[in-house]
Chain A
Amino acid sequence: MDVMVPNTFKVQKFIKETHDTFTIELKSLETKNGFTFEPGQFNMIYIFGIGEIPISISGDPNKSGILVHTTRAVGTVTKEMAKLKKDDIVGIRGPFGRPWPIKEAIGSDVLLVAGGIGLAPLRPVIYHLLSNREYYGRIILLYGARTPQDILYRKELEKLRSRLDIDIIVTVDRAVKNWTGNVGVVTTLIPRAPFDPINTIAMICGPEIMMRYTIVELLKRGLSKENIYVSMERNMKCGVGFCGHCQYGTEFICKDGPVFSFKEIEHLFGKREI
């Protein structure tokens, strides 16, 4: 086994999510054992002749038969991925990285704050929390998208909202006609979100600036630094600490992260060009 060599997976389904995001469902061509991972981990996805990039896993951790990735068509590899169709083949290395603190959150309220495509790495957490509902306190998802058209997993979110054991609050930066929901950045939802600040684990994923202001608001509400978690992003070529690219201070985001508590990276967070 060479950690730098991918396994082949076949596209089972291609789902267009929004105008620039999509989901692929993959099945291993090499093993029947399925693909197991923990929420927050990522894979290196190889597109033949184009390249390889890190993408977080977005599926249900209880369903090992299918591997799910959601991403935005934004770079060379993801734009090529956006052209994938059923039966196409990709290479997969992983899963890599430290997961979200789902064990640490047992017995606590769980607050998920997502911005844009940042919802994708948090979706496995939602699946996990809901299938182990009795272990957790209140579950709150605060989600901010640019416009109503940019809302990811919209049908799924609407369905989830009908459940009485999870609070889902969505906001958009810019409203359009027919939008009757919240308008404003996701941080504006925090002051009145229903959680107990002294017994809450927060998991945040989105652009760095969004995470930064979310942390400011959470600290104001009285959350402690060690109970606030973020998922960081940097250039990655290997996923296992060999390429050096993802260094963030003393940390390798690929193997020490991508999930960090705010306490661990407070001294770096918000500093320029780290």
Chain B
Amino acid sequence: MKIIDIQEIDNLISLLREMNYLVVGPTIQNGAIIYSQITTSKDLPIGYTDDQSPGRYRLIKDKKESYFNYVVGPQSWKKFLYPAIQKLYTAYFKNNKLEIEREENPTTKYAFIGVRSCEINAIEIQDRIFFGGEYQNSRYKGLRKNCFIVAVNCSKANSNCFCTSMNTGPEVKSGFDLVLTEVINNSHHFFLIDSGSEKGEEVLSKLNTREPDKESLELGNKVIEETKKQITKQLETEDLKDILLRSLESPVYDEVSKRCLACGNCTMVCPTCFCMTVEDYTDFFKTKAERIQKWDSCFTLEYSYIHGGSVRVTTGSRYRQWLTHKLASWHEQFGTSGCVGCGRCITWCPVGIDITEEATKVRRIAEFQTTSMEEI
């Protein structure tokens, strides 16, 4: 563990740029924290924080000149590693000959600055999906293996955070190259910095660092402890998978369908959602077609369409698909939960539907049914 002064962030950005990384970090765009290319620390949301609750997100002035004192915004790092729109190949059709030209893999080297613990967990979940099984997504794998992660320990939580329930935060424990803890205390403003990989160590050795004293280390720990205390939302995960899979016909889903707009926002902001669809874009003369892969959402009718109609017609069945996939099926499919407790789906739901509340309702009804059956 070392200490760097806040000015050293600019050095870090320059170093990474010199190493041919495309440096991406938090910026302010359209009234939200958006991950975008940054060239200096001035691009960071200095002095801003956010206020989030179900269906509500506001960027507000922070009381201090903080660099990273906000909670996750609408977009996740998924948009870089697994872009929303990707070309798979171009098909050429001429003289009754079909030629298929695979689109080259992207080779961008990304350096992500400001990655939170829940987000590292989300990236590691997507790793399992895209290269943990028999089939490999080499586009994703290539970008992922190239990327450099500068994590940040959260210095605040909002009312939608529940990473402590999902065992994914707020403290960054692994999966990073460098990790920062921002300490603002009276006249002090510095970062504790540590490396988590050889690549990280190499970068760290080039920064102007100093050894931390005991007090600084304590201040760093306090940041994490204070954040933990701010997390009030909880999801009881014990036996949740089995309860959800047993309760597919729970009345909760019917009730949710009265509020859910089936807009798919939750799936777009979710850092682990991976569903996609594929479309052909043909030219005017039908000689060339580009095969495009796009993010898709299980909330659309088209998603489950087979001859004769869609399988999931009611909104309740689509919500059930999403919730049970995240919190239950995912375990069977990928050996982990599909939820990291980042709270994005709650914040960005236009009507503020809360996955933790709905899952808890399913649990309570299931438990009530079990106990009343026992009593009978």
Binding site for B on A (CB under 8 A): 2-6, 8, 46, 48-52, 72, 74-75, 87-91, 233-235, 237-238, 240-245, 247, 249-250, 252, 255, 267-268, 271-274
Closest chain A CB from B237 CB (angstroms): 17
Query: Is B356 positioned at the interface, with any CB of A under 8 Å from its CB?
Result: no
Contact present for A49 and B329 (CB under 8 Å):
no
Given contacts A8-B100, A249-B329, A273-B317, contact A244 B274 (CB under 8 A): yes
Contact present for A240 and B311 (CB under 8 Å):
no
Query: Is B214 positioned at the interface, with any CB of A under 8 Å from its CB?
Result: no
Kindly name the residue among A3, A241, A242 whose own CB sees the greatest number of chain B CB atoms within 10 A. Answer: A242
Which residues of the partner chain A approach B248 to less than 8 Å between Cβ atoms? 249, 268, 271, 274
Contact present for A242 and B249 (CB under 8 Å):
no
In the assembled complex, the Cα of A174 lies from the Cα of B204 at a distance in Å of 78
B297: nearest chain-A partner, CB-CB: A244
Contact present for A52 and B93 (CB under 8 Å):
no
Which residues of the partner chain B approach A247 to less than 8 Å between Cβ atoms? 298, 321, 325, 329
Which residues of the partner chain A approach B245 to less than 8 Å between Cβ atoms? 249-250, 267
In the assembled complex, the Cα of A4 lies from the Cα of B278 at a distance in Å of 10
In the assembled complex, the Cα of A240 lies from the Cα of B333 at a distance in Å of 13
Which residues of the partner chain A approach B320 to less than 8 Å between Cβ atoms? 273
In the assembled complex, the Cα of A245 lies from the Cα of B318 at a distance in Å of 12
Kindly name the residue among A5, A49, A89 whose own CB sees the greatest number of chain B CB atoms within 10 A. Answer: A49
Contact present for A91 and B278 (CB under 8 Å):
no
Which residues of the partner chain B approach A88 to less than 8 Å between Cβ atoms? 96
Please tell me which one of the listed residues A6, A238, A244, A267 contacts residue B298 in the complex, with CB atoms under 8 A apart.
A244
Interface string of B287-303 (1 = CB under 8 A from A): 00100010010100001
Which residues of the partner chain A approach B130 to less than 8 Å between Cβ atoms? 242
Contact present for B93 and A48 (CB under 8 Å):
yes
Query: Is B276 positioned at the interface, with any CB of A under 8 Å from its CB?
Result: yes
In the assembled complex, the Cα of A271 lies from the Cα of B249 at a distance in Å of 8
Given contacts A49-B289, A249-B245, A271-B248, contact A89 B333 (CB under 8 A): no
Number of B interface residues at 8 Å Cβ cutoff, please give it: 51
Contact present for A242 and B314 (CB under 8 Å):
no
Select the stretch in B62-70, B110-118, B134-142, B153-161 that faces chain A.
B134-142
Closest 4 CB pairs of A and B: A244-B275, A273-B317, A250-B332, A240-B135
Contact present for B303 and A273 (CB under 8 Å):
no
Contact present for B304 and A234 (CB under 8 Å):
yes
In the assembled complex, the Cα of A147 lies from the Cα of B284 at a distance in Å of 42
Contact present for A235 and B96 (CB under 8 Å):
no
25 contacts between A and B (CB under 8 A): A5-B89, A5-B102, A6-B100, A48-B91, A48-B98, A49-B91, A49-B282, A50-B280, A72-B307, A91-B98, A240-B134, A241-B133, A242-B129, A242-B276, A243-B276, A244-B276, A245-B296, A247-B325, A250-B245, A250-B328, A252-B333, A268-B248, A272-B317, A274-B248, A274-B311
Query: Is B312 positioned at the interface, with any CB of A under 8 Å from its CB?
Result: yes
In the assembled complex, the Cα of A252 lies from the Cα of B135 at a distance in Å of 13
Contact present for A235 and B275 (CB under 8 Å):
no
Which residues of the partner chain B approach A74 to less than 8 Å between Cβ atoms? 307
B273: nearest chain-A partner, CB-CB: A244
Contact present for B97 and A255 (CB under 8 Å):
no
Interface residues of B in 258-291 (CB under 8 A from A): 274-280, 282, 286, 289
Closest chain A CB from B151 CB (angstroms): 27
Which residues of the partner chain A approach B304 to less than 8 Å between Cβ atoms? 234-235, 245
Given contacts A49-B289, A51-B280, A272-B317, contact A244 B296 (CB under 8 A): yes
Interface residues of B in 296-342 (CB under 8 A from A): 296, 298, 303-307, 311-314, 317, 320-321, 325, 328-329, 332-333
Closest chain A CB from B244 CB (angstroms): 10
Closest chain B CB from A76 CB (angstroms): 10
Which residues of the partner chain B approach A241 to less than 8 Å between Cβ atoms? 129, 133, 135, 333
Contact present for A89 and B96 (CB under 8 Å):
yes
In the assembled complex, the Cα of A4 lies from the Cα of B329 at a distance in Å of 24
A6: nearest chain-B partner, CB-CB: B100
Query: Is B88 positioned at the interface, with any CB of A under 8 Å from its CB?
Result: yes
Which residues of the partner chain B approach A242 to less than 8 Å between Cβ atoms? 129-130, 135, 137, 274, 276
B129: nearest chain-A partner, CB-CB: A242
In the assembled complex, the Cα of A191 lies from the Cα of B277 at a distance in Å of 44
Contact present for B135 and A250 (CB under 8 Å):
no
Please tell me which one of the listed residues A233, A237, A240 contacts residue B306 in the complex, with CB atoms under 8 A apart.
A233
Supply 7 further A-B pairs (C-beta < 8 A) apart from A46-B91, A252-B333.
A74-B307, A233-B306, A237-B277, A240-B134, A267-B245, A271-B249, A273-B314
Contact present for A89 and B98 (CB under 8 Å):
yes
B320: nearest chain-A partner, CB-CB: A273
Which residues of the partner chain B approach A46 to less than 8 Å between Cβ atoms? 91
Interface residues of B in 126-175 (CB under 8 A from A): 129-130, 133-138
Contact present for B96 and A48 (CB under 8 Å):
no
Which residues of the partner chain A approach B289 to less than 8 Å between Cβ atoms? 48-49
Interface string of B83-113 (1 = CB under 8 A from A): 0000011010100111110100000000000
Which residues of the partner chain A approach B99 to less than 8 Å between Cβ atoms? 8
Closest chain A CB from B5 CB (angstroms): 45
Contact present for A8 and B98 (CB under 8 Å):
yes
Contact present for B332 and A237 (CB under 8 Å):
no
A47: nearest chain-B partner, CB-CB: B280
Which residues of the partner chain A approach B329 to less than 8 Å between Cβ atoms? 247, 249-250
